[in-house]
Structure 1
Amino acid sequence: MSKNKSCFDFLTKIVNTLKYKLNNEDYKILSDELFRNRDELLCNWLNVETLKGLIDKSYDKNKMREFIKLCLQKVIESGSWDTGAREKSREILKDLFGRRLIKINVKYKEKAIFCKISIRSSVETSKEIVNVE
């Protein structure tokens, strides 16, 4: 099985699958950009400046931001993407969307239980955190 590598793969396998979460104008902005760069490797196309530019051009910046974040998570979680694309997605998620873990101390029957909580956005749901192939 060949690994997904290109911007066109990203558009067809992830963005088109999740496009119902984005309004039509923002979907057009993102899909046009990916289609223009369809032959480029996703790991070469992905960078913070490009994604910030797409977010700035969008009509609903918060939704576009969350949508891009969700798409990058799908690349990381799916085993069908090449290593370069997954590593670049991890790097961008950390740089652009760094999720903060909240540490809390909980006691149960006088024993300390250490917990880390990660807060998800309303766009993310547990049903969506699955592999997309």
Structure 2
Amino acid sequence: MSLRKHPVLTAIAALATLTATQFVHAEVYPRESMIKAEKKEAGGGKGVLYGEYAFTRDMPKKDEAIKEISWLTLKPGDSIGYHKHVTNEDTYIIISGTGIFKDKDGKDVPVKAGDVTIVRKGESHGLTATGSEPLVFVDVIAEQ
């Protein structure tokens, strides 16, 4: 079926293209331009948390749900202490390495590449790098 023979389909296709080009807004944060930071004893943990931030919590607009997103790295044996998220939620997407995630109930759960952890508003969590390689993860903090 040719779109030329069906004006309604042609109009729908044109509208879809116009809508996609006019209203889609994407943000790209090249890794080389990310904000680098080192946090000692993050959340009351041990060692140093190495971060590369697309943006930090003070940068988004009030109505934007994602408040911070970053690549984070913990060296073997280092940790983010068990801490509470009072106003926001936090997600870790494990990229490489292994670790122990302390969940909202204080239970230790092994994590590895491909695992995703979530802590909701009012809940606590922590993370320790347990393997011989650094634990690398993407961190997304959101707030409604």
Common topology (TM > 0.5): no
Structure having the higher strand fraction is: 2
TM-score by length of structure 1 reads 0.26
Pick 1 or 2: higher relative contact order, CA cutoff 8 A, min separation 6.
1
TM-score by length of structure 2 reads 0.24
Q: Radius of gyration: which is bigger?
A: 2
Structure having the higher helix fraction is: 1
